[in-house]
Amino acid sequence: MDKIFITRNWHVDAVKLLENHFEVIVWNNSNSPTEDDIIKYSKGCFGVFSEFDDIITKNIIDSSDQLKIISNRAVGYENIDINTAKLNKIRVGNTPGVLVETCADFTMGLLLDLARNITYSNRAVLKGNWKSFNQTPYLGTDVYKKKLAIIGLGQIATAFSRRAIHGFQMDVSYWSRNRKINLDNELGLQYIDNINDLISSCDYLSIHCSLTPETYRIIDKEQFMLMKNVKLINTSRGPTINQDELLIALNNGNVESAALDVTDPEPPDYNSELVNHPKILITPHLGSGSRETFNKMALMAAQNIINVHKNHEMVSEVIID
């Protein structure tokens, strides 16, 4: 029987599914295995089922003897050396689509939290600062009919825009590599072809673009300087913003508050000024983390492996140019 190595012990249903076809070796730990561990346990395996923070290096791929598929339980695959995978004729799978609505819910949650100082005021309550009825230190901003700017209009940002427009009648503008005219018409989105114009007049800014050399620090000093009391949300990848400049922008008021579900690095430095800033809300890369979606992503990653084994098309394959 062919073997699969799965790099976590969280995925009961996915393991059951895989066990119908393979001998499954489960990494019995909730932390990522080291490079040496992955090399050791994936020896002789047909597939590796990986998580977003397992760094699948050239060394791992070159050391594998039977490997045919690396199936990442994530949309992103920057943890995998895909060029080496291609050279070794190893296919790579990912799990887009199933997480879209879950991530959009989470982004809306972060926006509402920032708008109304929910986490900020909760921290004050925990410190014993609720002495009498006094809203003034925690007054937030409305969401209804406010201006939302979006960078990168993929599926998640589209689902988020629907919530913002249908639920809160927000005025939504976006910048994206490609203009989506159908969505402009359907949802009443406004496309702005210059990021600096987009961010200089918004109340809320949400980043959704994938991380590429072009989007590395797409929000940097120049952009922060243009913002006016913006509430910033990042659920894409940490390096899309320059965090040192974010700290300056928070201190001088260009950014009123920020919610980061992704940081650079992950996890962040707990002693840093940014992490401890009162107007920063950091969550542990949790956008797709509902119970339902966590499981759906795992089942999809498992199915990608099964499909390769059966010579069927993968549910989602990363095409390596």
**Cβ contacts of residue 116 below 8 Å, gap of 6+?**
140, 141
Binding segment for ligand DGY (CB under 6 A), chosen from 72-80, 83-91, 218-226, 247-255, is 72-80
Q: Give least dist CB 297 to ligand DGY, A.
A: 7
Q: Find all residues with CB under 8 Å of 226, minimum gap 6, and list them.
A: 196, 199, 200, 254
What DSSP element (H or E) covers 50?
strand 45-50
Q: How many H helices and E strands in the chain?
A: 13, 12
* Sheet with 3-6, edge to edge strand ranges: 23-26, 3-6, 45-50, 69-72, 91-93
Backbone angles phi, psi at 10, to 5 degrees: -95, -20
Residue of the chain from 52, 160, 168, 175 that contacts ligand DGY (CB under 6 A): 52
And the tokens for 55? 């760094």
Is residue 285 among the annotated active site residues? yes
Count other Cβ atoms within 10 Å, centred on residue 164.
Answer: 26
Tokens standing for residue 270 = 């707990």
At closest approach, how far in Å is the CB of 318 from ligand DGY? 12
Is residue 116 flagged as an active site residue? Answer: no
CA distance 160 to 73: 22
Q: Considering 8, 73, 208, 237, which one is annotated as catalytic?
A: 237
Q: Which of 35, 78, 266, 317 is catalytic?
A: 266
Helix (H, G, I), strand (E, B) or coil at 148: strand
Hey, which residues between 281 and 300 contact ligand DGY (CB under 6 A)?
Answer: 288
Shortest Cβ 288–ligand DGY spacing (Å) = 5
Strand, helix or coil at 86?
helix
Which residue's CB is nearer to ligand DGY, number 121 or number 210?
210
Figure out which of the listed residues 15, 17, 74, 299 binds ligand DGY, where binding follows CB under 6 A: 74
Tell whether residue 242 is a contact of ligand DGY (CB under 6 A). no
Nearest to 150 by CA among 232, 79, 215: 232
Identify which range of 5-13, 70-78, 167-175, 239-247 contacts ligand DGY by CB under 6 A.
Answer: 70-78
Cβ at position 208, least distance to ligand DGY in Å: 11
In the complex with ligand DGY, which residue's Cβ is closer, 146 or 296? Answer: 296
- # of chain residues touching ligand DGY (CB under 6 A): 5
CA separation for the pair 40, 92 (Å, rounded): 20
Q: Which residues contact 134 (CB under 8 A, 6 or more apart)?
A: none
Total Cβ atoms within 10 A of residue 319 = 9
Contacts of ligand DGY in 142-171 (CB under 6 A): none
Query: Shortest distance, CB of residue 233 to ligand DGY, whole angstroms?
Result: 14
As measured in angstroms, the least distance from the Cβ of 24 to ligand DGY is 21
> Which region among 74-82, 134-142, 240-248, 305-313 touches ligand DGY (by CB under 6 A)?
74-82
To the query of whether residue 309 is one of the catalytic residues in this protein, the response is: no
Q: Rule CB under 6 A: say whether 75 interacts with ligand DGY.
A: yes
> 201 vs 210, which CB is nearer to ligand DGY?
210
User: Which active-site residues does the annotation give?
Assistant: 237, 266, 285
Query: Which residues form the interface with ligand DGY (CB under 6 A)?
Result: 52, 74-76, 288
